[in-house]
Amino acid sequence: MARVIVDVMLKPEILDPQGQAIARALPRLGFSGVADVRQGKRFEVEVDGPADDAAIAEVRKMAETLLANTVIEDFVVRVEG
């Protein structure tokens, strides 16, 4: 078993009101020096076999098909470990 991580983020040009709300909340909690926050999603995909090129390609296909909506989101696939 291996774990493949997919990080999904809204494209930079798409307004992220959730990230903005978090950024506005931080100073109220005493955290200073935060210029911006953007919120995304992390998927942990456990694959049966090793995280070889074929498995990573398959996860990439999953990301394109379902995990991310590439109209509005970018994604990065990486192997944890």
Partner 1 sequence: MRVGVVTFPGTLDDQDAARALRLAGAEAVPLWHADHDLKGVDAVFLPGGFSYGDYLRCGAISRFAPLMTELVPAAKAGLPVLGTCNGFQILCEAHLLPGALVRNAGLHYVCRDQRIRVDNASTAWTTDFAEGQEITLPVKHGEGRYVADAETLAELESAGRVVFRYAGSNPNGSLNDIAGITNEAGNVVGLMPHPEHAVEELTGAPGVDGRGFFSSIVRKLVNA
Site of interaction with partner 1 (CB under 8 A): 10, 14-18, 21, 66-67, 69, 71-72
Residue (24 or 52) nearer to partner 1, CB = 24
- Least Cβ distance, residue 81 to partner 1 (angstroms): 26
Q: Are 42 and 7 in contact (CB under 8 A)?
A: yes
- Least Cβ distance, residue 54 to partner 1 (angstroms): 23
- Least Cβ distance, residue 56 to partner 1 (angstroms): 21
CB neighbour burial string for 3-35, b if at least 16 within 10 angstroms, e if fewer = ebbbbbbbeeeeebeebeeebeeeeeeeeeeee
